[in-house]
Amino acid sequence: MVTPGLLLVDKPAGITSHDVVSKVRKLLGTRKVGHAGTLDPMATGLLVLGIESGTKLLTFIVGKDKTYEATIRLGYSTVTDDREGDVLEEATQDEIAGVTGQTILSAIAKLTGVIQQKPSAVSAIKVDGERAYARVRAGEEVDLPSREVTVSRFEVVGEIRFAKDHIDLDVVVDCSSGTYIRALARDLGNDLGVGGHLTSLRRTRVGEFDVATGYSFVASKEAEIIRLADAAKTSLPFIEISEQDEIDLRHGKRIKGQVEVPTAALLDGQLIAVVEGAGFESLKSLVVFSLGESNV
């Protein structure tokens, strides 16, 4: 029997997030595997996978803030805002020479905080039921509307590397869900007047989960699934409930209590449900875990 819960995977470059799901399905011998947010094939780093009934927890993880490490190259803009796209424009050496470390830091400051960001056209956002990237690859022009995102940290790590025809900088970004790091690279380059794109991207954190504990397909260690109760207690606030509360939740009834956000309800260390506030001092279930699921 496959243990329900979450599996953290360190995705290698060159494969899709769906490829990772397929590999894990074969590895664990189960079809019931999902993920809490994709990574581009070029990108590496943390994918949070739900295994069996752990997929029920993914909806509460997908919207959490994230941390990325990236390398931005200034001097070129590309169709995809990363190294895999065709070059759109290339800055002159004189334009590159006019960019200084201070102007880069000033432009980064403008992209920090609560900002309006236009997602990259080559993204997974759906337009009339079809992914934007599919429309772009079919030759269509896609203009996605700007939306509000929060970039709580956008910092340069190490030395900025200046060359005649480009500038490279390594950055770390803490941001809200839905923020496109490729778009940050694009907008940084546009603000400096030289264009910009990503040459590398690695996701190191999703909410409370860190890539340092992620499973690697090339490592010899076994895939360690985070059990349901531990996964819920790590990613959500949690409360202890009574045996009667468990019975009521399993029958679709409300129980007494008060919470501000979705909260894990546990009984004797077992995950029973995720609940939310439902009026004055009452709670209702968002998802309920069966007895078989909550006993492992």
In terms of Cβ atoms closer than 10 Å to its own Cβ (0-12, 13-18, 19+), residue 172 is: middle
Q: Name the pairing type of β-strands 238-240 and 263-267.
A: parallel
- Quick one: pLDDT at residue 235? 95
CB-based contact 14:41 (threshold 8 Å)? yes
Whole-model pTM above 0.85? yes
CA angle 279, 284, 290 (to 5 degrees): 175
Say how far apart CA 212 and CA 267 lie, in whole Å.
30
Q: Would you state the pLDDT for residue 292?
A: 61
Which residues of the chain fall below pLDDT 50? 296
CA dihedral sign of residues 226, 174, 81, 148: positive
Q: What is the pLDDT of residue 296?
A: 47
Q: What are phi and psi of 73, to 5 degrees?
A: -110, 120
In order of their start, the domains of the chain are 5-64+207-228 (3.30.2350.10), 66-206 (3.30.2350.10), 236-294 (2.30.130.10)
Dist. CA 146–CA 290, nearest whole Å: 41
* Residues recorded for the chain: 296
Say whether 40 is catalytic: yes
Give the DSSP per-residue string, 53-74: GGGGGGGGTTTS-EEEEEEEEE
Q: How far apart are the C-alpha atoms of 99 and 182, rounded to whole Å? A: 20
Question: Per-residue pLDDT tens for 48-82?
Answer: 999 999 999 999 999 999 999 999 999 999 988 99
Residue from 10, 40, 174, 187 carrying the catalytic annotation: 40
